[in-house]
């Protein structure tokens, strides 16, 4: 059924269409009251009332801009938030569901506000809520992820780090070093943030170590911003290049070529996923197993990943890594061989 766009349209529908029209015209300077009145076949006074309701009841912020066209000054209305791209219900729902992956992460504290804003801008004014059924769909989506024990606390610290990153000022952090079981205090210059498996890491220049270090955000206990102590991020530092050879989040220097043999029962998983940009499928053997190579640094992180595959993987090269994996397997066996 074709929607009515003139006098016969309900006010609610007309408000939706006016918002959509302003949104479409915002990149081109906006739209005038006269243009809206002519398009929707109502008086200019009615359009003024509609615009008042849009701003005060629907909370859609508008901006008035004066422009002179053909010697006459006209008032144009634009969205204050800028142009909102047109999205189908399917795409809008996909955006909404992708946000759910951040539940329990450092971003979870903002999720409810973001969800409400997303629903308001993408759903309410353009589509029938029943068509999307976002809340109902959310109840039928279950995410199996690691979650932070204190996401709100970590989220507050995360916000301070993002601000320091944007403004290029130093911060003092109180950091728990897990493998040492000790706390340390550092003053750092934030260079970037990276995310792996929903965990966030701060890449920063440490003034104490005089080198770039990586700090896991949920192990930072507190952040104090030195807003007046500005720094310039080195022009030759590129976060993607710095992390390019790292298996995980640690760049510990020299990279090595690692060759692994995966058994046939897991070979299809290796073919279907790229675990690192350097991944190369070198050979497929007659028994269905495959040999894959990587060129990476941060081998300690890679070892924990190799262990997850159990006896479905064998390290072929380098020899020292093969020996390290043997030692790790012996230590695991020793743990399970202990008797109470």
- The domains of the chain are located at 11-79, 89-138, 151-243, 256-337
C-alpha atoms less than 13 angstroms from C-alpha of 17 in its C-beta half-sphere: 17
CATH class of 11-79: mainly alpha
Reduced to 3 states (helix: H, G, I; strand: E, B; else coil), residue 290 is: strand
Which CATH number describes the domain made up of 151-243? Answer: 2.30.30
Q: How far apart are CA 108 and CA 100, in angstroms?
A: 9
pTM of the entire predicted model: 0.70
More confident residue, 283 or 128: 283
Q: Does domain 256-337 have CATH number 3.40.1000?
A: no
Per the omega criterion (within 30 degrees of 0), is the bond before 125 cis? no
Residue ranges of alpha helices (H) inside the chain are 11-25, 33-40, 44-56, 89-100, 108-118, 129-132, 134-138, 151-167, 239-243, 264-272, 299-308, 319-337
pLDDT at site 133:
62
| 224 touches 172 (CB < 8 A) | yes
**To the nearest 5 percent, what fractions of the chain are helix, strand and coil?**
40, 25, 30
Q: What is the mean pLDDT of the chain?
A: 86
pLDDT-above-70 percentage for the chain: 87
More confident residue, 8 or 223: 223
pLDDT over 50 at 2, yes or no: no
Longest dimension (CA), the chain: 94
**CA angle 141-143-145, nearest 5°?**
175
Q: How far apart are CA 28 and CA 35, in angstroms?
A: 14
pLDDT over 80 at 186, yes or no: yes
Please give the structure tokens belonging to residue 24: 């479409």
| 256 touches 318 (CB < 8 A) | yes
pLDDT over 80 at 320, yes or no: yes
Q: How far apart are CA 22 and CA 2, in angstroms?
A: 21
pLDDT over 90 at 230, yes or no: yes
pLDDT average, residue stretch 68-73: 81
pLDDT at site 90:
72
| 31 touches 25 (CB < 8 A) | yes
Residue 60 — very low, low, confident or very high, per pLDDT cuts 50/70/90? confident
| 170 touches 231 (CB < 8 A) | yes
Contacts of 200-205 with C-beta under 8 Å, sequence gap 24+, read 200/105, 200/106, 200/158, 201/249, 202/161, 202/173, 203/239, 203/242, 203/243, 205/231
pLDDT at site 226:
96
More confident residue, 5 or 250: 250
pLDDT over 70 at 242, yes or no: yes
Residue 83 — very low, low, confident or very high, per pLDDT cuts 50/70/90? low
């Amino acid at each position: 059924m074709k929607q009515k766009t003139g006098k016969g349209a309900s006010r609610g529908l007309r408000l939706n269409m006016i918002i959509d029209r302003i949104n479409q015209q915002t990149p081109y300077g906006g739209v005038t009251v006269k243009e809206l009145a002519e398009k929707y076949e109502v008086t200019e006074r009615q359009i003024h009332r509609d615009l008042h309701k849009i701003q005060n009841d629907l909370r859609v912020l508008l901006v008035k801009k004066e422009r002179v066209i053909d010697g006459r000054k006209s008032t144009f209305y634009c969205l204050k938030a800028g142009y909102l791209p047109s999205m189908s219900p399917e795409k809008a729902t996909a955006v909404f569901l992708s946000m759910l992956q951040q539940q329990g992460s450092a971003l979870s504290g903002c999720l409810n506000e973001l969800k409400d804003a997303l629903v308001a801008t993408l759903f309410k004014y353009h589509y029938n809520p029943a068509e999307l059924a976002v809340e109902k769909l959310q109840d039928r989506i279950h995410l199996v992820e690691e979650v932070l024990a204190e996401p709100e606390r970590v989220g507050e610290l995360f916000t301070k780090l993002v601000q320091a990153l944007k403004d290029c000022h130093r911060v003092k952090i109180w950091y728990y070093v897990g493998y040492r079981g000790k706390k340390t205090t550092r003053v750092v210059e934030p260079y970037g943030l990276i995310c792996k498996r929903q965990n966030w890491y701060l890449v920063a220049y440490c003034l104490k170590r005089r080198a770039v270090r990586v700090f896991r955000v949920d192990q930072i206990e507190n952040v104090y911003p030195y807003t007046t102590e500005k720094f310039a991020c080195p022009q030759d530092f590129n976060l993607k290049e710095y992390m390019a050879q790292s298996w995980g989040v640690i760049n510990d220097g020299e990279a090595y070529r690692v060759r692994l043999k995966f058994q046939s029962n897991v070979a299809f998983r290796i073919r279907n996923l790229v675990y690192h940009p350097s991944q190369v499928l070198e050979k497929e053997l007659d028994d269905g197993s495959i040999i894959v190579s990587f060129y990476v640094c941060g081998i300690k992180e890679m070892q924990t990943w190799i262990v997850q595959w159990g006896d479905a993987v064998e390290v072929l090269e380098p020899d020292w890594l093969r020996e390290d994996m043997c030692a790790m397997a012996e230590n695991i066996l020793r743990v399970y061989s202990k008797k109470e």
